[in-house]
Amino acid sequence: MNALILTIYYALDIYKWFVIAMVIFSWLFAFNVINTRNQFVAMVGDFLMRVTEPVLRPIRRFMPDLGGIDISPIILFLIIFFLQQLLISNFPMAFIR
């Protein structure tokens, strides 16, 4: 059971890094810093969108329009943080080494 709890915790942690990478990629794309015609850059962007968009889309649906400012990644970070704290508080023995 401890291995399952730790796996879920670390999967949430890795997913946070995917969201951070997607946010940085979207900023670089919006300010035309990266060349999206490059095949590798396009593949990375497509991967990040496919990984993060299914989770961010429902959050965006409930968020009010803020005029071009997307705070759905921040809301997702709060949800992930809450889930991780829930795991830590309910299964503290899984995190003791």
| pLDDT tens over the chain, length 97 residues | 889 999 999 999 999 999 999 999 999 999 999 998 999 999 999 999 999 999 999 999 998 888 888 999 999 999 999 999 999 999 998 888 7
Which DSSP letter does residue 95 get? G
CA angle 30, 33, 37 (to 5 degrees): 90
Tokens of residue 16, six digits: 């946070």
Q: Which residues of 70-91 are buried (b: 16+ CB within 10 A; e: fewer)?
A: eebbeebeeebeeebeebeeeb
pTM equals 0.89
**DSSP secondary structure of 69-90:** ---HHHHHHHHHHHHHHHHHHH
